[in-house]
Structure 1
């Protein structure tokens, strides 16, 4: 009987910080093993915004642009997940799944932890200052306080 592998979720967006976090996770937890002996399952999760959040801000007549916004968000999600796949393959990691969900990244990431019974959630840090973090909200900070698993916040190296 095969032992159940721990699930690691890496949250990605279009930022260099999230791709750095993915590379760090691959180098730290996946690359040292052969694909046959991987002790972890990798789920790469991209959360795209809700279309209505864009359209609602645009005012009357905004529903006419809904299909264009939907198309752009879909294209962006495809580009992000393709880049993630390329990074995985370049590091010889082929046993992974990608998911694209819609909603607030903070909530969707925490829900994914529950749904997958994840052992670890890995996210990048955008390095916002206190004011920007207070206005925009920090996804990594929220997840660190609300996800029911270990949360690894990966920072970019100082240059």
Structure 2
């Protein structure tokens, strides 16, 4: 757990550009300007889906596929964490706790807030419209309503064509 005298910021990441933009934005605004005396402790959390949830409900033979799916999910998690480390190092943010936790991102992030006694959770916004958000669900929306801390939803600027 982070040092008690500093407030904790948890940043939720996945393998999307939106997520890495949110990480960079948070580092630029809350960490990099204060180097090396950061006023916050940083915890970066990646929620790795379980193999069964990644393939959904499947018929006979699904059990044969699970080890391959699990292997792919572990490789993705390793890439996500490695990229997060690179981004932190490029911003001179070295004292970072990185976690990969299996489960639904909504629950994983809210549990990380509790575990680390975070005062803020930062997540990226995928920018889904109302229909897509209703079908897929929104991690940021869920966290905004259920996390027991302030939640910052970082949106990427839209580029005009």
2:30: which partner in 1? 29
Post-superposition offset of 1:126:
0.3
Unaligned runs of 5+ residues in structure 1 are none
1:150: which partner in 2? 150
TM-score under structure 1 length normalisation? 0.95
2:47: which partner in 1? 47
Distance (Å, rounded) in 1 between the aligned partners of 2:106 and 2:41: 21
Post-superposition offset of 1:56:
4.8
Over 2 Å off, 4+ runs = 54-58
Unaligned runs of 5+ residues in structure 2 are none
Q: Is the 8 A contact 2:50 2:70 kept in 1?
A: no
Equivalent residues, number: 157
TM-score under structure 2 length normalisation? 0.94
Post-superposition offset of 1:65:
1.5
Q: Is the 8 A contact 1:51 1:69 kept in 2?
A: yes
Worse-matched range after superposition: 57-66 or 128-137: 57-66
